[in-house]
Structure 1
Amino acid sequence: MARDPLFLGGEKKNIAPYVCRRKGVLHYRDLGKGDYNYAAWDWYSKPKTLRRPVWSEPYFGKGGNTLMVTYSVPVFVGENNNKFWGVIACDVSLNWLNKLMTSIILGETGYAFLVSRKGVYITHPNRNFIMKETVFNVAKKSRQPALTKVSQNMVNGKSGFVRMKSVITEKPSWCIYAPIPSSGWSLSIILTEEELMQNIIRLGRMEAAAGAAGFVLLLLIALLISRSITQPIRALDKATRSLAKGNLDAPLPVMDGEDEVAHLADSFETMRKDLKDYLEKLRQATAEKERIESEIHIARSIQMSLLPKRVPQSREFDLCAMLEPARQVGGDLYDCFMIDDQNICLVIADAAGKGVPAALFMAVTRTYLKALSWEAHSPAETLFRLNNELAHGNDGCMFVTLFYAVIHLATGECRYASAGHNSPFIMQSDGRVTLVPRAKGAILGAVKGLPYEEGMFTMQSGEMLYLYTDGITEAMNSAGELYGEGRAIEELKACKEMTCLETLDTMRASVEQFVDGAAQSDDITQLAFRYMGRDDYASVAKRISVSLPKYDLQSVK
């Protein structure tokens, strides 16, 4: 770095600190001291005059063994950059470049060389040419007019592809030359015509090698210039590596100023704080998710434990029920039990809400219902008393819909009451499917003292009563369409000759085909009861379904 001796005005003062590396050790001296007049040298005067960076002509350094080149950049200051401050220069050894050029294999006799802006050989296979000969001298000695024109074009920064005779092998060859814009040098490759024509593929490889050499040269020069600029970035990189390993408490280097590196450091500090906040929130969210999953598992266990382990068996009816839980725990429930030797009770219910609260509320509902059913009340009276029990102290405002039916096996008489639940379907012996007439009744647990209507119909031999929750009719496909009662009726018509288990399987398969892969949002609960009668059960006795599907509670999540 050399400052203009007259920059400060007044007395002339030379200041030119110089640093070089020899054998891995940095050496320093001031070129401004002593007799060295740097202002008279081209590396100083040319960039000052031209007001742009300048590459010097190659030269041998002190001792004559090292080929060097200098890159000089003028520095102007002031409001309009009109005041010359000095020159920043970098000396680059070219010994590596000559080794690189001679190491490039261009067939058996091909070679490459570099010439300066004045046509002086910088690299050449014949070391006697380096810094001693010019392309003009060689062209004159070889008496080749084409080579003289090539020499002029190379000095003028042109590129071309010309046929000539090699000065080394004296064989017909092709000369490829092109300028290096950043330095003003010219790169030339000599290939014998024989090798060129024999192997076109090899030519492509040689061109790629020459291009790679030029790229490496430019890359190295750029790295040398930018080295001093990247020091703060390296410090920042070291700190960010600690962040990358998860150490979010690692301090980042403080960068003063308003330049891009300082802004980058501030951005990394903001990122570090944001990452800490995000990970803390993620930890809390993960803990909450685990808590919810644990709650779902408990609720599912409660829900499944409420289901009867066995259903009543008799020659007078065919009975089957199944509950397929959704991912989110609902409050579905079914139950079936003999009140006495003549009467069987069928129950299906759906509690509001999800999770443990709904499961616990359904458990309370089932306990009360079992107790009240044994007291021989009518279905309407049973629901009336059940509602009063559930509404008492119901601070959580939970409620449940429920269908309750008692069937007299000797006569087929079915007495029922409904607490806001879906009306079941009756599959008649002639194949018709109808809804059970609705019996008015409010949801259970909302308000005490509400009355419930009681309905009654008589089942004929072979007729089936199909109870379900809204997981069937409100199943939704990806288009937002509901399965609905219409589809359920049409599907049940096809189940006329099926057993109860086959009917439930058919309905489940129909719903699954309709949703076509859409997520199941609610439990699907079904109960089918086919009345045989006292004297008409023999024809279907072998098809009676009395077992319940088994579910692995560990798989319910």
Structure 2
Amino acid sequence: MQDAAGKKEHRLSLSVKMNLVTTGMILLVAGGLLLISYIVQGRRVTAMYYNRVETAATNAADLVDPDLLRSFRDKVLSEEFSTVRDAALSAGNPDIVKNYLEKQPSYYYEELRSEEANSGEGIDHYESLAFDYEVLSYDMQVARSGAVVTDVYIQYDKDGVTWNLVDPNEDFLYLGSIEEELPEFAAMEDNGYFPATVHKSRYGWLCSAYVPIKDTETGEAIAVVGADVDMNTIMQARKEFLVNSIIFVLLLTGLCILLNIFLIRRLAVDPLKKLTDAACGFAAVDREYTRDDIIHVDIRSNDEIGDLYHEIQEMQGRIVDYTGRMTAYAAEQSRIGTELELANRIQMSILPEVGPEIKDRKEFLLQASMTPAKEVGGDFYNFFLIDEDHLGLVMADVSGKGVPAALFMMASMILLKDLAVPGRKPSEILMQANNDICRNNKAKMFVTVWLGILKISTGLMTCASAGHEFPAVRGEDKTFRLFKDPHGFVLGGMEDMKYKDYELKLSPGDALFVYTDGVPEANDAAGAFFGTDRMEEALNLAQPGHPKDILMKVRESVETFAGGAEQFDDMTMMCLEYCGPGGA
């Protein structure tokens, strides 16, 4: 066996346990705070970028000249421009579109274009449609600058179709192209407002918002300004916050853990170790304790550990006093145990044995037994010849355990035998015994009794029951069955109770089995009872056989069922087989 020192070397110390628990709690709280702060800050960052997207789109819409945009839109969406763009796409040359725009007059110089056409002079760049495009592009660039957005552009929506008009990040082939349909914007009205929305398109993972550009006089929506921000930018900002937060939390957590370890050792572990060593020294004393063995440790803290120290001192003082009392108590218990063992032997010696006056009778066979439980109990049986032709049988169970029950049992047994005189019926015997017991029953104890008187010459048995178990009877079919006899009240319960006689006619070969509740109420380890069904089965398995063999078979069946479980009630049985007037 491993000694105590060896166990202490391999166990997990209190210091380690407390540090692990508190460290785990600190980490859990830190992780929770980190998660909460990340979620809250992440939402704030996301909301900030959403707001910047919508602000950029709004600012761009405010910068654009609606009349200029309307003129530019109409020309870009014209069939003439579409033809030029198709040619540029086929050639893969955006300069074709650029050259076309250079030759088309600006919105501001429409009338000048007519005059110059008559004079044969060309259009200057600042008077061309290409300059209008640069103005609109510049407005988008201004709106994008400082707004932390990826792109700002102008589109035109009509009947679910979106045309691209202006995007500083694209070449001239972009003008007049049709944008892909995205399900996230399916609910968007033509050239209407749409809040910041996350989506994926050919341009990447974006957050986009749309604001209409309206005619200042009519309020008509001419087109929409769209603003994009790359979601990776948002996620990178959140990631940076998370990394910085983790570094800060790890540093703070490490500091808290070190401080926690120091305080736990200083305030709890060291004082407790002193107490442990002192208490182990007290426990190691292998002689009778004295007051000098009580521990004295330098612990001055005015907290629970100080209280524990004083409680240990008081407890050890009580132990010193208690061990002295226990020595005297052990001697007293030894004396009581000896007396109980003597009482059990006296109780067993009072029960009758099958002597020659019974054993030599040829008219019947009789056997009785009692297997006592752990404590002295109150079960008893009795059999005696009332006269040469009448045999008295008694089976009884006194309430309670211990010496009082044993004394009550002896008194009841003697009383019942004294009252069983020739000519007196079982009901009369029980009635008289009940009244005698009730008059002197200060302990309020009671006893259940089954009493039978067999007329030996005829096999007629007259019986009465004072609340006892049903007897089992074997008749012509050679099978034991419970006989549900009429029950009277227990003896000692109430005076002047009436009891009812009943008769059993026993033929040669018939048998009677009576018992106390220790048989059917024998229990196994799971608490299940043996029961009367198993008892009947055991009785019938023992046939044919002497009553002694029948009792032995029932006892073996009970012991097999119990499986070694401790029994708390005596197991008392008696079996009579009637052989007839001529004997067996």
Q: What TM-score, normalized by structure 1, do the two folds share?
A: 0.50
Paired residue total: 308
Distance (whole Å) between structure 1 residues aligned to residue 279 and residue 555 of structure 2: 62
SS of residue paired to 1:470 = coil
Give the equivalent residue in structure 2 for 1:302.
Answer: 346
Distance (whole Å) between structure 1 residues aligned to residue 276 and residue 458 of structure 2: 92
Post-superposition CA distance 1:520-553 (Å, at most 9, x none): 211111111000002351xxxxxxxxxxxxxxxx
Post-superposition CA distance 1:400-426 (Å, at most 9, x none): 011100111111001001111101101
Distance (whole Å) between structure 1 residues aligned to residue 414 and residue 563 of structure 2: 37
Distance (whole Å) between structure 2 residues aligned to residue 349 and residue 233 of structure 1: 58
User: How does 1:122-271 map onto structure 2 within 5 Å?
Assistant: 246-250=289-293, 252-253=295-296, 255=298, 257-258=300-301, 269-271=313-315
Structure 2 spans left out of the alignment, 5+ residues = 1-272
Q: Is the 8 A contact 2:399 2:446 kept in 1?
A: yes
2:455 to 370, 393, 408: 408
1:383 to 421, 426, 430: 430
SS of residue paired to 2:518 = helix
SS of residue paired to 1:471 = coil
Please tell me the residue identity of whatever aligns with 1:440. Answer: H
Please tell me the residue identity of whatever aligns with 1:511. Answer: V
1:333 to 376, 380, 390: 380
Give the equivalent residue in structure 2 for 1:349.
Answer: 396
| Distance of aligned partners of 1:376 and 1:234 in 2 relative to their CA distance in 1, 3 Å threshold | closer
Distance (whole Å) between structure 2 residues aligned to residue 346 and residue 518 of structure 1: 31
SS of residue paired to 1:527 = strand
Q: Is the 8 A contact 1:302 1:360 kept in 2?
A: no
Distance (whole Å) between structure 1 residues aligned to residue 327 and residue 443 of structure 2: 30
Measure how far apart 1:305 and its partner are.
2.7
Q: Is the 8 A contact 2:471 2:514 kept in 1?
A: yes
Post-superposition CA distance 1:283-302 (Å, at most 9, x none): 46535644552453243133
Measure how far apart 1:372 and its partner are.
0.8
Post-superposition CA distance 1:232-279 (Å, at most 9, x none): 999999999778773344465574744999999757634522422542
Distance (whole Å) between structure 2 residues aligned to residue 233 and residue 325 of structure 1: 48
Post-superposition CA distance 1:286-326 (Å, at most 9, x none): 35644552453243133213201434531111111111111
| Distance of aligned partners of 1:237 and 1:305 in 2 relative to their CA distance in 1, 3 Å threshold | closer
Give the equivalent residue in structure 2 for 1:84.
Answer: none
SS of residue paired to 1:383 = helix
Give the equivalent residue in structure 1 for 2:556.
Answer: 509
Please tell me the residue identity of whatever aligns with 1:297. Answer: E
Distance (whole Å) between structure 2 residues aligned to residue 232 and residue 440 of structure 1: 67
Give the equivalent residue in structure 2 for 1:96.
Answer: none
Give the equivalent residue in structure 1 for 2:498.
Answer: 451
Q: Is the 8 A contact 1:295 1:356 kept in 2?
A: no
Give the equivalent residue in structure 1 for 2:485.
Answer: 438
Moved more, 472-481 or 268-277: 268-277
1:464 to 487, 508, 511: 511
Please tell me the residue identity of whatever aligns with 1:322. Answer: S
Measure how far apart 1:371 and its partner are.
1.2
| Distance of aligned partners of 1:255 and 1:445 in 2 relative to their CA distance in 1, 3 Å threshold | same
Q: CA RMSD in A?
A: 3.3
Higher helix share: 2
| Distance of aligned partners of 1:429 and 1:313 in 2 relative to their CA distance in 1, 3 Å threshold | farther
Post-superposition CA distance 1:462-492 (Å, at most 9, x none): 0110111111000011111111111111111
Measure how far apart 1:506 and its partner are.
0.4
SS of residue paired to 1:407 = strand
Distance (whole Å) between structure 2 residues aligned to residue 515 and residue 237 of structure 1: 43
Q: Is the 8 A contact 2:294 2:317 kept in 1?
A: no
Measure how far apart 1:448 and its partner are.
1.1
Post-superposition CA distance 1:174-201 (Å, at most 9, x none): xxxxxxxxxxxxxxxxxxxxxxxxxxxx
Distance (whole Å) between structure 1 residues aligned to residue 472 and residue 542 of structure 2: 12
| Distance of aligned partners of 1:525 and 1:238 in 2 relative to their CA distance in 1, 3 Å threshold | closer
Please tell me the residue identity of whatever aligns with 2:290. Answer: N
Give the equivalent residue in structure 1 for 2:567.
Answer: 520
Please tell me the residue identity of whatever aligns with 2:562. Answer: V
Distance (whole Å) between structure 1 residues aligned to residue 324 and residue 399 of structure 2: 34
Please tell me the residue identity of whatever aligns with 1:519. Answer: E
Give the equivalent residue in structure 1 for 2:445.
Answer: 398
Measure how far apart 1:340 and its partner are.
0.9
Q: Does 1:424 align with 2:471?
A: yes
SS of residue paired to 2:519 = helix
Q: Does 1:273 align with 2:309?
A: no
Distance (whole Å) between structure 2 residues aligned to residue 480 and residue 394 of structure 1: 33
Q: Is the 8 A contact 2:387 2:422 kept in 1?
A: no
| Distance of aligned partners of 1:259 and 1:332 in 2 relative to their CA distance in 1, 3 Å threshold | closer
SS of residue paired to 1:320 = strand
Q: Is the 8 A contact 2:426 2:452 kept in 1?
A: yes
Moved more, 279-288 or 488-497: 279-288
Distance (whole Å) between structure 1 residues aligned to residue 553 and residue 277 of structure 2: 69
Give the equivalent residue in structure 1 for 2:406.
Answer: 359
Distance (whole Å) between structure 2 residues aligned to residue 241 and residue 436 of structure 1: 65
Distance (whole Å) between structure 2 residues aligned to residue 239 and residue 488 of structure 1: 56
Distance (whole Å) between structure 2 residues aligned to residue 239 and residue 334 of structure 1: 55
Q: Does 1:286 align with 2:330?
A: yes
Distance (whole Å) between structure 1 residues aligned to residue 515 and residue 426 of structure 2: 18
Distance (whole Å) between structure 2 residues aligned to residue 481 and residue 232 of structure 1: 48
Distance (whole Å) between structure 1 residues aligned to residue 278 and residue 379 of structure 2: 63
Rg larger in 1 or in 2? 2
Distance (whole Å) between structure 1 residues aligned to residue 540 and residue 276 of structure 2: 77
User: How does 1:107-126 map onto structure 2 within 5 Å?
Assistant: none
Post-superposition CA distance 1:317-341 (Å, at most 9, x none): 1111111111111101111111111
Distance (whole Å) between structure 2 residues aligned to residue 514 and residue 333 of structure 1: 24
| Distance of aligned partners of 1:305 and 1:240 in 2 relative to their CA distance in 1, 3 Å threshold | closer
| Distance of aligned partners of 1:467 and 1:273 in 2 relative to their CA distance in 1, 3 Å threshold | same
Q: Is the 8 A contact 2:290 2:320 kept in 1?
A: no
The higher-RCO structure (CA 8 Å, 6+ apart) is 2
Give the equivalent residue in structure 2 for 1:488.
Answer: 535
| Distance of aligned partners of 1:357 and 1:239 in 2 relative to their CA distance in 1, 3 Å threshold | closer
Please tell me the residue identity of whatever aligns with 1:296. Answer: L
SS of residue paired to 1:406 = strand
Q: What TM-score, normalized by structure 2, do the two folds share?
A: 0.48
Distance (whole Å) between structure 2 residues aligned to residue 232 and residue 437 of structure 1: 68
Distance (whole Å) between structure 2 residues aligned to residue 342 and residue 333 of structure 1: 24
Distance (whole Å) between structure 1 residues aligned to residue 376 and residue 534 of structure 2: 26
SS of residue paired to 2:542 = coil
Higher strand share: 1
Please tell me the residue identity of whatever aligns with 1:497. Answer: P
Distance (whole Å) between structure 2 residues aligned to residue 277 and residue 385 of structure 1: 54
Distance (whole Å) between structure 2 residues aligned to residue 493 and residue 480 of structure 1: 25
